[in-house]
Every structure is written in C-alpha cells, then in structure tokens.
Structure 1
C-alpha cells in the first residue's frame, strides 16, 4: 500500500476512534446530569439524537476502517494478539451500541421522567465502560504487546 493511502487510513482510524470516545464522554455527562437532577425530558432526547445520528454510524465506520487497516497493513487481522483483541472488543461494542445502547437511549427519550432508576444508572455505566474499553484499545495500539497468534513468544 502506498504511504499516503496507509497514512490516510490510519488517520481515519484514529480520528473515528477518538470521536467514539468523545461521543461516549458526552453520553456519560448527559446521563450523569439526569442523576444530578437535570430534567430527563430535556436531556434524554439529546442523548438519543447523539446515539442515532453520531454513535450508530460512527461505530460502523470505526469497525470497517479498523478491519481495513489491519488487513491492508503488515499487522494483519489475526496475526497479533493485540490486534485480535481490539477486533473482538470493537465487535462486541458495536453489537452493544446497535442492539442495547441506542435502543435504550430511544426508550429513555420516550419515557423521560418515567424512566426507571436502574435504567438511568445504566445510561451512565454504559458509556463509562465503553470509554474505559476504548482507552484500553488506545493503550494496546500504542504499546503493541508482544505475541503473535500461532507462534508462542515470537514478536
């Protein structure tokens, strides 16, 4: 792959990943604001909008760009444990965003003040856990722990 294409793909991967972390932080702040007494009827529709308009497409793009980045570079998709780990985490998180988080945000927007306390707490815990996992993936990308799949102890 030409250096310009490789760098463009990598820049897109980094930019979209950082954007996902930013969206999680915004959702965390909005969820915490409701727990701190803000009007759920105002906050949850904004959170649902962020989920639908930003997080859903962003998550899909991140997964696709990450897979393309792995397949088109020497790192490979299933050659190194750290890349495979990121793939598994991103795939699980994509499923959670598509099938639990964004439907939960829509439900919260519709329910407003009637949303159960446990569900309100979940709307804080989910982006907090997601943010922590994204930071873990950043650490894996920077430090690239040793270990190749199928070759014990080799780099």
Structure 2
C-alpha cells in the first residue's frame, strides 16, 4: 500500500520536521550536558536538562520513529526494498531503545540538580554525542541512499 502524492508529501514533511526536531533537541541536551560538565550551576543545568529531555526529547523521539516507520511502510521506498531504509530503521530503533531504557533514568536523576549522581551526569553528556552522530549518519543514508535494492530470490522459470 502506498499513499497518494499529496499524502506522501505530507508524511515526508512530518518525517523531516520530527527528525530535524530530534536533532535540534539533541543539540540542546548536548549544550546543557557540556555546560554541566564545565561547571555551570548544577541546580540550574540538570533540572533544565531533565525538563527538556522528558517533556520534548523523549516524546519527539517516539514520534520521529513512528513517522519514519510509517514512511517506510507507506511510500514507494518500502520497508524491505532498500538496504539503506533497513539500516536507517535499525539505527533509529536502537536510538529509541537507548532513549527509553538508558537516557530516561538519567533524565529522572537529573531532576535532583546538584545531587545528580556522577554516572548519570556522564550519561547525560554521552547520550547526545552518540545520538547526534547517529542522526547525522541516518541523514547521510537518506541523502545518498547507498547499497541499492534488496534482491528477492525468485524461482527461475523451468
């Protein structure tokens, strides 16, 4: 099933907006994490990081993944037609899992401000570095579309 061109363009627009939003909020989290690591007031930086992360980053990550998955299913690119689509889906799925299961507990710990544990602080700095890198890789995959189509084995005529 594929969408008509106007719906496909609307879905593509939503996909780009959510992905760019994810990258933008990632930059905000990275900026706050660096500020915390460089000695900014932890009672200001970490609760702010927790607020932005929990109220914007986590929901936007889920939305971006859902829209990307819908785009793969409902557009001519298809979910199982091109290797780059599968790799990109794999990257974003791993990132979403990391957001939900690794970053979210650190965001909750960041609500403590100066009492945020050191390992949570390190995780709050490392997560946006990794996430930003992976989002840039996913963007490159969308731009260059490497590796071609996935070949399906079809029985040869007798």
Q: State the TM-score, normalized to the length of structure 2.
A: 0.89
Name which one, 1 or 2, has greater alpha-carbon Rg. 2
- 1:17 matched to which residue of 2? 19
Q: Is the 8 A contact 2:81 2:149 kept in 1?
A: yes
The whole-number CA distance in structure 1 between the counterparts of 2:4 and 2:44 is 48
- 2:144 matched to which residue of 1? 143
Structure 2 segments unaligned to the other structure (5+ residues): 154-158
- 1:56 matched to which residue of 2? 58
RMSD: 1.5
C-alpha offsets along residues 69-124 of structure 1, whole Å, 9 cap, x if unaligned? 111111111221100001111111111111111220111222x2233434322211
- 1:40 matched to which residue of 2? 42
Give the drift of 1:136: 0.5
The whole-number CA distance in structure 2 between the counterparts of 1:49 and 1:34 is 15
C-alpha offsets along residues 54-74 of structure 1, whole Å, 9 cap, x if unaligned? 111111111111111111111
Describe the SS at the equivalent of 1:150: coil
Q: How many residues align?
A: 151
Describe the SS at the equivalent of 1:75: coil
- 2:124 matched to which residue of 1? 123
The whole-number CA distance in structure 2 between the counterparts of 1:115 and 1:65 is 33
- 2:104 matched to which residue of 1? 102
Q: State the TM-score, normalized to the length of structure 1.
A: 0.91
The whole-number CA distance in structure 1 between the counterparts of 2:104 and 2:120 is 13
- 2:115 matched to which residue of 1? 114
